[in-house]
Amino acid sequence: MEAKVTGLAGLLFGEQIAGRIDALAAITEAPGQLTRIFLTPEHRAGAEMIMAWMREAEMAAHLDAIGNVCGRYEGERPGLPCLMLGSHYDTVRDAGRWDGPLGVITAIACVADLHARGVRLPFAIEVTGFADEEGVRFASTLLGSRAIAGTFDESALGSKDRRGVTMRQAMQTFGLDPDHIGAAARAPAEVLAYVELHIEQGPVLEAKHLPVGVVTAIAGATRLAVELRGIAGHAGTVPMALRRDALAGAAECIVAIEEFCATDRDGLVGTVGYINAMPGATNVIPGMVSFTIDIRSPRDPFRKLAVADIVRQIEEIVKRRGLQLDINVTHENRTVPCAPWLQQQIAAAVMAEGCPVFELPSGAGHDGMAMIDITDVAMLFVRCRGGVSHNPAEHVEAPDADIGARVLLRMIENFAPKG
């Protein structure tokens, strides 16, 4: 496929992208760190900033029924099916600023370049900023992309955040109608494909000295919520042998999870990212502990067996320590393949921009895991320094952001719908 020459010569995407990354990163709930969570004032402010950029690029922009930002750049004539681009604009707590926003900002930059050159394509381009990919506020995740895919689970509306606010209440406070989420769903016929540019969030591209990579698959994940209950007591008077210490029990479980995953099991990874011990006083034996577990593997059957083994080990520890246990799966995503026909078009664009083609899987989850329910998906990874992510030190060099944008734009201009 002969790549069309794009009008990128000399257009420095990288600097503009880096500037917008910084502007969006200034919208945070906690000065000094980046935290932008679903259905918060920061979510609203971030959406307004992104929609303004979309409108500058001659896109129609709106907030959909769950708070995704949706921008549309019409094709040669109005109403054509679209190539959907995008990523998420929510963050983890104390986040890096590139995870998510790079995909949204780069896609808008590509559309702005098309608009500047008066280019209209035989399909529309849509850019979606997903409102909740990280699943920080409520246990489930991919809420925005699931709403677009029509697979949003209404039971999630009853889930509560750490302050006891339900998603339903949070949506109403934000100004959205929780009974109207279905309006965000798109028909498969409207979407030709979903392609997401994202930082790698791992060390492989840097180790290979490559600026970009073509993603082959997105690893599946299981998230669990665990609650251990023992007996709160006086730290000075209860002999060790008589204690029902929920935190010591949790500690033994956490080490068991780490040891289970650390024995080389074909890419299996396990993380306890959140723990809360109650009542939380130095001189009180913790009576209740809640913590989360995140288990991933490139192979779904393997992950499911690992989850079952880990649950069994936790049950054994709890029984031996005389504790009580509640353990629930709060989120499950199967491993999602990137469509070969899309991978090939991304690879052609990578080559046309003078870069070697390197394929790699994604250990991180992405919105493509939901979007695959209505269309084929693919991803382009951009190198990030040290492979660091979910960390304020997360960083992309402007030249790499520039190459990522050039590859994405070339892929867009040469995009050939399936069949």
Residue among 104, 310, 360, 364 that touches ligand HGY (CB under 6 A)? 364
Taking CB under 5 A as the binding criterion, the range among 32-40, 100-108, 237-245, 396-404 that sits at the site for Mn ion is 100-108
CB closer to Mn ion out of 100 and 202: 100
CA angle 33, 145, 71 (to 5 degrees): 85
Query: Using the rule CB under 5 A, is 64 a contact of Mn ion?
Result: no
Q: How far is the CB of 156 from Mn ion (least distance, A)?
A: 19
CB closer to Mn ion out of 42 and 99: 99
CB closer to ligand HGY out of 233 and 387: 387
What whole-number distance in Å separates Cα of residue 329 and Cα of residue 222? Answer: 7
CB closer to ligand HGY out of 115 and 385: 385
Query: Using the rule CB under 6 A, is 132 a contact of ligand HGY?
Result: no
How does DSSP assign 71-107, residue by residue?
EEE--SSTT--EEEEEEE----TT--SSTTHHHHHHH
Task: Kindly tell me the burial class for residue 391, based on how many C-beta atoms sit within 10 Å of its own C-beta (0-12, 13-18, 19 or more).
Answer: middle
Site map for Mn ion, 168-207, x if CB under 5 A?
----------------------------------------
CB closer to Mn ion out of 243 and 366: 366
What whole-number distance in Å separates Cα of residue 293 and Cα of residue 137? Answer: 16
Q: Are 235 and 296 in contact (CB under 8 A)?
A: no
Residue 365's binding partner among ligand HGY, Mn ion, none (Cβ under 5 to 8 angstroms by kind) is: ligand HGY
Q: Roughly how many angstroms between the first and final C-alpha of the chain, as a whole number? A: 15
Query: Using the rule CB under 5 A, is 99 a contact of Mn ion?
Result: yes
Q: How far is the CB of 302 from Mn ion (least distance, A)?
A: 23
Query: Using the rule CB under 5 A, is 129 a contact of Mn ion?
Result: no
- Rounded to a whole number of angstroms, the CA Rg of the chain reads 23
What whole-number distance in Å separates Cα of residue 99 and Cα of residue 201? Answer: 8
List Cβ neighbours of 261 (8 Å cut-off, separation of 6 or more). 268, 269, 270, 295, 306
Taking CB under 5 A as the binding criterion, the range among 94-102, 296-304, 314-322, 391-399 that sits at the site for Mn ion is 94-102
Number of residues this chain uses to bind Mn ion (CB under 5 A): 2
Residue 59's binding partner among Mn ion, ligand HGY, none (Cβ under 5 to 8 angstroms by kind) is: none
Taking CB under 5 A as the binding criterion, the range among 43-51, 96-104, 189-197, 288-296 that sits at the site for Mn ion is 96-104
Query: Using the rule CB under 5 A, is 100 a contact of Mn ion?
Result: yes
Which residue, among 262, 283, 279, has the nearest Cα to 271 in the 3D structure?
Answer: 262
Q: What one-letter code names the amino acid at 36?
A: R
CB closer to ligand HGY out of 103 and 365: 365
Q: How far is the CB of 147 from ligand HGY (least distance, A)?
A: 16
- Tokens 């690893």 belong to residue: 219
Residue among 144, 178, 287, 365 that touches ligand HGY (CB under 6 A)? 365
In this structure, what DSSP letter does residue 298 have?
Answer: S
What whole-number distance in Å separates Cα of residue 371 and Cα of residue 379? Answer: 12
What whole-number distance in Å separates Cα of residue 339 and Cα of residue 200? Answer: 18
Query: Using the rule CB under 5 A, is 367 a contact of Mn ion?
Result: no
What whole-number distance in Å separates Cα of residue 357 and Cα of residue 211? Answer: 10
Q: How far is the CB of 178 from ligand HGY (least distance, A)?
A: 23
Number of residues this chain uses to bind ligand HGY (CB under 6 A): 4
Q: Which residue is nearest to Mn ion (CB)?
A: 99
Residue among 133, 200, 400, 402 that touches ligand HGY (CB under 6 A)? 133
Residue 100's binding partner among ligand HGY, Mn ion, none (Cβ under 5 to 8 angstroms by kind) is: Mn ion
CB closer to Mn ion out of 99 and 113: 99
Query: Using the rule CB under 6 A, is 134 a contact of ligand HGY?
Result: yes
Query: Using the rule CB under 6 A, is 126 a contact of ligand HGY?
Result: no
Q: H helices within 276-397, ranges in order? A: 300-321, 340-352, 368-371
Cis peptide before 279 (omega within 30 of 0): yes
The helix/strand/coil state of 380 is strand
Note the residues at the interface with Mn ion (CB under 5 A): 99-100
Per CB under 6 A, residues contacting ligand HGY are 133-134, 364-365
